[in-house]
Amino acid sequence: MIERYSDHAANERTYLAWVRTGVAVMAFGFLVEKFDIFLIYIGKALHKRTGAHHGVHAAQILGMGLVALGILMMIGASVLFVRTRRAIMAEAVAQGPGSPAPYVAMVLALVVMGITLLIYLAQVNGHP
């Protein structure tokens, strides 16, 4: 039996949950960016302006931001996984988790991107 198996298993489950979340955020970012391209082609096919032609496309920026956030989530999860694994393996009693600031920053970034997406979709659908 592996020493402290349940602690290692919990650490691994947490890590995999963060990785899945990062992949989901990246996939959503890809979808948002491709949705903008879809609107442009539909607009051209219908000879209508879709509201998505204002310089750099908002959906492209938002999509790339979500992909970048997903990548950062997976990098952060990897760092936390390794740090927690070392703490489990250490003989000394370790302090609890560090500052919640990275988690709060990530959630705030997602909220800002969500609000931006709502504003963008309202403009695309013709609402002021």
Dihedral pair phi/psi, residue 53, rounded to 5°: -110, 30
| The pLDDT value given to residue 14 | 94
Q: Where are the beta strands (DSSP E) in the chain?
A: none
- Say how far apart CA 73 and CA 19 lie, in whole Å: 7
pLDDT digits (tens, 9 = 90+) for 37-84: 666 666 677 765 555 454 457 778 888 888 999 999 999 999 999 998
Residue type, 83: R
Residue 109 token pair? 């970034």
- Say how far apart CA 43 and CA 72 lie, in whole Å: 34
- Say how far apart CA 94 and CA 97 lie, in whole Å: 9
pTM of the predicted structure, to 2 decimals = 0.72
Q: Widest CA span of the chain, in angstroms?
A: 69
Q: What's the whole-number average pLDDT of the chain?
A: 81
Residue 43 token pair? 């607009």
